[in-house]
Chain A
Amino acid sequence: MDMNIPYTAEARPDTGLTNGKLGIWLFLASEVMLFGALFSTYLILRVGSPVWPHGTLNVPLGTINTVLLISSSVTMVLAWAALKMNQFSRHRTYLIATVVLALLFLVNKFFEYREHLAHGTPPSASTFDAIYFTLTGLHGLHILGGVIVMVYFLGPGAALWRKNPEQFANRIEYTGLYWHFVDLVWIFLFPVLYLL
């Protein structure tokens, strides 16, 4: 049943790309448009409103989360780099670290949401709360998605390392690209929502 699809592991000479590399970047391009629409929503709602809350979000918690996510980006790229240097167990260490940092981010998010809801400000309370929950919620779902993929590559997916190490390294690279993108979104989300 399997097809011999070329350029899954080695790059096509004229484009210099593997299929997966192009594929993940195109997917990220679509994600830029997805979050772009939400930032556009934020902009329209804020510009159109005579008042906009300031200082109602937990800045320390948000800052900690930013630190966690940036650190996880570092561990993610190191997880890939270890594979390129044939250090499989070091790769797993870094990948696990990435997952742990991501889960800590989500735990913080949980406390933050709980605090926000306890103040009587659910999404329906105002357009600020609505866009805050939606932007961070969608971002959080993306974090969760990334965690699931990483756990897969720590689990059954790791079998590919033995069979086709080059392709496995590529897949970790693509996962990393996705992860860095998620970090990148947060780099904008944090100041926009929490500080401005």
Chain B
Amino acid sequence: MDNAAAIGTTAAHGHAHEHAHHELGFWRKYVFSLDHKVIGIQYTLTGLLFLFFGFVLMMIMRWQLAYPMSPVPIIGGLLGTANAPGGIMLPEFYNQLGAMHGTIMVFLGVVPLAVGGFGNFVMPLQIGAPDMAFPKLNMMSYWVYFVGGVTMLASFFVTGGAANSGWTSYAPLAVTALGNGQTMWLIGMVFLITSSLLGSVNFIVTIVQLRAPGLTWMRLPFFVWAQLVTAFLLLLAFPPLEAAGVLQLMDRVAGTSFFMPSGLVVGGERLEISGGGNPLLWQHLFWFLAHPEVYVLILPALGIVGEIIANNTRKPLWGYRALVYSVIFLGFMSFIVWAHHMFMTGMGTTISAFFQTTTMIISIPSVVILTALLLSLWGGSIRFSTPMHFALAFLPMFGIGGLTGLPLGLAPTDIHLHDTYYVIGHFHYVVAPGTIFALFAGIYYWFPKATGRMMNDLLGRIHFWGSFICINIVFMPMFIQGLGGMNRRLYDGGAQYAHNAELLHWNVVIGMAAWTLALFQLPFIYNFFTSIRNGKPADRNPWDATTLEWTAPSPPGHGNFETTPVVYRGAYEYSMPGAPKDFTPQTEPERR
């Protein structure tokens, strides 16, 4: 065996020595691996765990909203008297649950799964590469994410509990928040952002430099294009939030006034600070990232759905070029729409008009992409596999999510809808039955590649139908509540306002649906873990797919491909006239 000293240090030091291939110990093989497949699985498992945890937080919140001021059943006693004396949660704790639900789902769950998990595992295989361009950087990205995640979780246990000023951490509320939770949130964010930045460099260099011979840009799977644009979003949009995080840390810890206005009175006392700061500055820097972030949430999902639709309609994607140009244009526009989250901050009409315009324009590529995916179904020979169920459902769900965004992007209507449950309905439709369904689709689809076994179909159908029905019952009523004027982030579900009286009963419906939704995840969890050992064995290409990952063994070994693939054709040659089979892999040479 090799003489590597401490765990991990060998991985961190100098460059690879030309060893003859030898067996790695447990730690180097499964924990501190440099292999993108292992790292991808690490991201996937960690991301799924955080997704589950964030979901649990919401289920607890939903109890308070459905039955305000009544003790939380089963776990009420476990929450602690600081958070929920007698099992009845305090408003401060409700706010912690809310802020951390959002933070965990977005930064610790969905993005690590969509980008760190799927991007890492699938993308190098789809481009015919042996690994990522910078394997050590890749490993570091995962562990920095892990540390950020632990920091976030630990914040529940510090003085004052976790951050409770929303996932948006607006100043001056977040700056003046008591305890250490918000400070830990900021520190955690610095880790998470660093992880993302390192990862995005890796993704872009890998896609640009390590494409297999013959894999020209217009032969790339749409999934890879989506990951490329996503990586650019992460690379260029995250740094301003990292800067802002440092500034808010300084406001909290060093007494600076970057975001603190003059003359601020808190708890009846004037604050002893210099003042002169600008709370809107935080909003600008935050949303400069957070808007592109929502495209980070959706783009990998669109990529996954594209792959699965082409494969399960046995025909090429409709409008491949339109898809590619749209996703690039979408990525670009996403950087210049952010202040549509700030229409209520008193900005002038000119600048408001600018952001409304860019926001309306950005809906165009979104619609083009959705339309192309829908048109891809036309004339297809549709195979209703489990991944296809989720991919098909994604389409109308994303449609609803996208369309409901339009009144939010126009200032006159946003005045009525801002900070109401309408907003919550809108973005959850895009992320929950949108992105998360696409991620489920991707798990069912690529599970055989990662494990060499298929997941169980029956359990998959139960998972799908139960989730699909419940998730719509959870989020559709929120549009009704929002249009009725029910504000978000109210710990009593809005009961204190007379105008909400007719809307409160929906909270019971939503709660029931949410808890049922949780139950329907059990077949998935069971399926996921038992199929690793007991699933039906899968060969290289159980789906009869065309892209490069399906030419490698299931699971692929060290270096992925026995010989470097050579690509001769585009990514979606399904049912090509004159071809012997209804699919022609990208590596199939031209027939003479």
Contacts from A to B (Cβ < 8 Å): 1-7, 12, 15, 17, 19, 22-23, 26-27, 29-31, 33-38, 40-41, 44-45, 48-49, 122-127, 129-131, 134, 138, 156-157, 159-160, 164, 167
Contact = CB atoms under 8 A, between A and B. Distances in A.
B135 A134 contact: no
Nearest to A18: B209
Contact of A38 (B17, B197, B243, B274): B243
Interface stretch (B89-97, B126-134, B461-469): B126-134
B243 A41 contact: yes
A195 B388 CA distance: 63
B281 A44 contact: yes
A49 B261 CA distance: 11
Interface stretch (B251-259, B299-307, B362-370, B528-536): B251-259
B79 to A, nearest CB: 37
What 3 pairs across the A-B complex have the smallest Cβ distances? A2-B16, A124-B255, A37-B240
B591 interface: no
A38 B235 CA distance: 17
Contact of A1 (B16, B250, B255): B16
A2 B18 contact: yes
B347 interface: no
B197 A30 contact: yes
Interface size band for B: 35 or more
A125 B236 contact: no
A15 B254 CA distance: 47
B552 to A, nearest CB: 14
A160 B13 CA distance: 12
A45 B240 contact: no
Contacts of A44: 278, 281, 284
A60 to B, nearest CB: 27
Nearest to A171: B15
Contacts of A2: 16-19
Contacts of B15: 160, 164, 167
B201 interface: yes
Contacts of A167: 15
Task: Determine chain A's interface SS by DSSP, over half rule.
Answer: helix
A35 B247 CA distance: 12
A40 B285 contact: yes
Contact of B130 (A4, A127, A129): A4
B24 interface: yes
Nearest to A159: B14
A3 B273 CA distance: 55
B244 A26 contact: no
B559 A41 contact: no
A82 B386 CA distance: 61
A41 B247 contact: yes
27 contacts: A1-B19, A2-B16, A3-B131, A4-B559, A7-B133, A19-B134, A19-B210, A22-B209, A23-B205, A30-B200, A33-B237, A33-B239, A34-B239, A34-B242, A37-B285, A40-B284, A41-B281, A44-B278, A45-B276, A124-B256, A126-B257, A127-B257, A127-B274, A130-B250, A130-B257, A134-B246, A134-B247
Interface in B174-224: 197, 200-202, 204-205, 208-210
